[in-house]
A and B are shown apart, each in its own frame.
Chain A
Amino acid sequence: MRKLAQLLQQGEVSSTEIVQNYLDRIAQEEGRINAFITVDKEGALAEAAASDARRKQGEPLSPWDGIPIAVKDNICTLGVRTTCGSRMLENYVPPFDAAVVTLLKRAGLPILGKTNLDEFAMGSSTEYSAFKAVRNPHDESRVPGGSSGGSAAAVAVGEAPWALGTDTGGSIRQPAAFCGVVGLKPTYGRVSRYGLVALAPSLDQIGPIARNVGDAAVLFSLIAGPDSRDATSSSQASFRLQLEDEPFPKGLKIGVPEEYFGEGLSSEVRQAVENALSQLEALGAVLVPISLETNVYAIDTYLTIAAAEASSSLARYDGVRYGMRVEAHDTNTMFEKTRGRGFGSEVKRRIMLGTYVLSASHYEAYYEQAQRVRTLINQEVQRAFEEVDLVITPTTPTTAFRIGEKRNSLEMYLSDLYTAMANLTGIPALSMPCGLDSQGLPIGLQIMGSHFQENVVFQVAYWLENALKGGSLSNG
């Protein structure tokens, strides 16, 4: 990206050329990848022209002015349809931009289009999009992961240089791992959620997906920072980091939790992550075996809380003010028919589950219990970060699975086994490629830091990326 920015600055290439190039790539690849729900060709080209005009005036909005981006379709874009991958919002056009979209526009980034996702971001394969399933560019018979499967696949196949995703239980990191790109779920509260269509507001975060660590850090710096429109947005300063200028932090303590290397982890994934860990040790890091016992509860805690919050957050889709409506003789029947037909089966499953755990007779045993276990998980993670600076784990137990392979929703939920903890505790977590398996599928490694420690996460990821590129341990 730095190179592209340099070319733009030197006038070697125009934003219009770059955008056109990506639009061509989209035209070429979309037939097999299905990464986009909406391609805003005219909008992107108009923004590119405006960017070129600014460059000519010598007034670019940022070093990245003119470099386009793709945005997940659960992030609101003024005047551009935002479907959340659902029939319910198939024709919904927001009258406002999400806070992050405003920031992208302020930096001069043309938006190529809106990327495909599991309906309302509920899923781990992007098969639950109401419109079409995204395919993994590394193997079209496989899923790209989800729910930000469209964004990850678009970046991996070169339809966009970078993209925004959203992550509630692993929805940035898991597809980043499956598609061989870098994705960050930031600290909760670091990126404004204003304009992000809620799944589970206490867990949701928007984050960058990019081809390498440096680009992800740049994109993160563009979207991070406080926002007065999001009451859960932290006042923590925006993010600035010159990765190249920072040496590897020698003596850095990296926690390796045994629970993440146990049953269910594929041996190839384990090997790749362990190789990466030895690279880091060689760079001067100290590996510390730790235990995160409560992770065994993470999936169920996450599912309970996410479903509860989703059942409430998705109640507004009732056919009155916007979106789809199925007519009926009375309002209540209209509600039931609209919601019964407007939502897909996974969304309805989670709404059912969330309604169940919140209903008066079950609240204490399920929802309240999960909230309290969440506290125990937090406490354990906090204790861990008193001992170590970072925690490194595999991002997913396996590499990308086949489309249609996971028929059972519970099996699908296990994809979030290693990722849900970061959402429950609000800590930043980054997934980066650390090799390929024997079938040539990317393997993801996850780096978790304590709250607001994205700089350390990026720094270590950057050095690891360099080390892996240096080659001896890379399988591919």
Chain B
Amino acid sequence: MIERAEVMRIAKLARLELNEDEIAQYQEDLTRFLESGAKLRQVDVSEVEGTSHVIEIRHPLRKDEVRESLSQAAATAGGPHVVNGYFRVPQILEGQE
């Protein structure tokens, strides 16, 4: 069983506020997932590299040209709290990054 503290650590990392039921549920789900995936970890992969791109594609680079941006109004249209064209956020506590 994955420890509760580990579930809490992961939730903090992912910035998810979880209630007690959720913590218990995810503790169980994570544990079950890791158990079911045990066979995956037995596979000998020493001979291969990981795949992060499945199709070989030549990286397309873009010319350094400026195109029109969104207007300030459009850029901030969806903002939950916008002040003078800025997005406003509450107090930022030290060392939170």
A–B interface present (Cβ within 8 A): yes
A96, chain B: closest CB distance, angstroms:
9
Q: How far is the CA of A296 from the CA of B37 in the complex (A)?
A: 11
Q: Are B50 and A352 in contact (CB under 8 A)?
A: no
B14 adjacent to chain A (CB < 8 Å): yes
Task: Give Cα A163 to B96, complex, Å.
Answer: 44
Contact residues of A between 350 and 380, Cβ < 8 Å to B: 351-353, 355-356, 359, 365-366, 368-376, 378-379
B30 engages A352 (CB within 8 Å): yes
Please tell me if A41 contacts chain B, counting CB pairs below 8 Å: no
A320 x B45 contact (CB < 8 A): no
Do A451 and B30 contact each other (CB < 8 Å), given the known contacts A330-B90, A331-B92, A369-B45?
no
* Residues A369 and B55 in contact, CB atoms below 8 Å apart: no
Q: B residues within 8 A CB of A371? A: 50-52
Is B65's CB within 8 Å of the partner chain A?
no
Could you tell me if B93 and A426 are in contact, using CB atoms closer than 8 angstroms? Answer: no
Name A's interface SS. Answer: helix
The A-contacting residues of B in range 44-77, CB under 8 angstroms, are 45, 48-55, 57-60, 62, 70, 74-75, 77
> Which of A93, A234, A331, A410 touches B93 (beta carbons < 8 Å)?
A331
Q: Which residues of A contact B78 (CB under 8 A)?
A: 92-93, 321-323
- What is the size, in residues, of chain B's interface with A at 8 Å between Cβ atoms? 52
Contact across chains for B89 and A339 when beta carbons are under 8 A apart = no
B26/A349 in contact, CB under 8 A: yes
Which of B30, B50, B87 lies at the interface centre, i.e. has the most chain A CB atoms within 10 A of its CB? Answer: B50
A369 CA to B41 CA in the complex, in Å?
A: 7
CB distance from A169 to the nearest CB of B (A): 14
Contact check: which of B55, B60, B81 meets A188 at CB < 8 Å?
B55
Using A331-B96, A355-B10, A366-B37 as known contacts, say yes or no to A339 and B15 having CB atoms under 8 A apart. Answer: yes
A373 neighbours in B (Cβ, 8 Å): 40, 43, 45
A343 to B22, CA, bound (A): 12
User: Assuming A372-B49, A375-B49, is B13 touching A355 (CB within 8 A)?
Assistant: yes
Report if A303 contacts B (CB, 8 A): yes
Q: Which listed residue, A235, A320, A355, touches B14 by the CB 8 Å rule?
A: A355
Taking CB as reference atom, which chain B residue is nearest A369? B41
As a 0/1 sequence over residues 1 to 40 of chain B, the CB contacts with chain A under 8 angstroms (1 = contact) are 0000001001101111110001001100110111011011
- Interface residue B79 (Cβ < 8 Å from any Cβ of A): yes
Query: Is B32 a contact partner of A234 (Cβ separation < 8 A)?
Result: no
Q: How far is the CB of B91 from chain A (nearest CB, A)?
A: 5
- On chain A, the residues within 8 Å of B48 by CB distance are 372, 375-376, 379
Tell whether A231 pairs with B57 under 8 Å between CB atoms, given A318-B15, A325-B81, A355-B10. Answer: yes
A341 within 8 A of B: yes
Is B37 a contact partner of A300 (Cβ separation < 8 A)? yes
Interface residues of A in 417-440 (CB under 8 A from B): 424-426
Contacting residues, chain A, for B36 (C-beta < 8 A): 300, 410
Supply 18 A–B pairs (Cβ within 8 Å), ascending by A.
A189-B57, A235-B58, A300-B40, A303-B37, A304-B37, A321-B79, A324-B80, A331-B92, A331-B96, A335-B15, A340-B18, A343-B16, A352-B26, A353-B30, A353-B33, A355-B10, A372-B45, A372-B49
